[in-house]
């Protein structure tokens, strides 16, 4: 099997690391060799967070090179734009349609770009998801990342039951039910 390259990008506090742990867990259940790497921005909350997940028969290093990501999962529009050059031509970009102003925008030193997703759609295969709205309907905005992961699951070769098992094993026990419900919402969106 060819090594698969997945990237998850977002800002601190969006659940990027939890999502990468779930993804790493499912690749192990499936019997693949997996390597993960995390890159944190300047701030714990609000800074850019990137995780690389590579899996296959034998993976020698965790870093995904530019132009090699099969799936890029972006929890925020600007982060999608910032890392879109990592996506391969046949890859898919799954972007949560959410805007979080970075500090330069907050203090008026920069302007948040307009039409980010529309511009990305000109060059990439993009799935836009308003996962935050779905998570609010569900009653817990914190699980929007798991909804996005559910959408991304359609582009990976793992069974729904394996995803649910890994979620149960990874999230805090009191949040298992809401995370499973969130995953299933995303999973059903693009099956």
Tokens at 101, concatenated? 């102003």
Q: Whole-angstrom Cα distance, residue 144 to residue 35?
A: 25
Assign a CATH topology to domain 4-188.
Pyruvate-ferredoxin Oxidoreductase; domain 3 (3.40.920)
pLDDT given at position 46:
66
**Block residue for tokens 């995953």:** 183
pLDDT given at position 41:
65
Output the DSSP codes for 36-89.
EEEEE-SSTTTSEEEEEEEEES-----PPPTT-EEEEEESSHHHHHHHGGGEEE
**Total-model pTM:** 0.92
pLDDT given at position 184:
97
Q: Whole-angstrom Cα distance, residue 101 to residue 99?
A: 6
Tens digit of pLDDT at every position of the chain (191 positions): 789 999 999 998 898 889 999 999 999 999 999 999 987 765 555 688 999 999 999 999 999 999 999 999 999 999 999 999 999 999 999 999 999 998 889 999 999 999 999 999 999 999 999 999 999 999 999 999 999 999 999 888 899 999 999 999 999 999 999 999 999 999 998 76
Contact 68, 56 (CB under 8 A): no
Q: Whole-angstrom Cα distance, residue 147 to residue 190?
A: 11
Q: Whole-angstrom Cα distance, residue 39 to residue 26?
A: 21
């Amino acid at each position: 099997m060819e090594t698969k390259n997945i990237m998850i990008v977002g800002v601190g506090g969006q659940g990027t690391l939890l999502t990468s742990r779930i993804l790493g867990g499912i690749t192990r259940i499936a019997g693949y060799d997996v390597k993960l790497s995390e890159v944190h921005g300047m701030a714990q909350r609000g800074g850019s967070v990137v995780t690389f997940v590579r899996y296959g028969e034998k993976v020698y290093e965790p870093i995904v090179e530019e132009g090699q990501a099969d799936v890029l999962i972006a929890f925020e529009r600007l982060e999608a734009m910032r890392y879109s050059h990592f996506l391969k031509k046949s890859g898919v970009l799954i972007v949560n349609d959410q805007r979080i102003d970075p500090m330069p925008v907050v203090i008026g030193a920069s302007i948040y770009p307009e039409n980010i997703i529309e511009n990305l759609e000109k060059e990439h295969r993009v799935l836009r998801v308003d996962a935050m709205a779905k998570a609010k309907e569900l009653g817990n905005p914190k699980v929007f990342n798991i909804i996005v992961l559910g959408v991304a699951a359609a582009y990976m070769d793992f069974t729904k039951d394996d995803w649910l098992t890994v979620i149960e094993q990874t999230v805090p026990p009191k949040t298992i039910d809401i995370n499973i419900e969130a995953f299933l919402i995303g999973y059903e969106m693009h099956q």
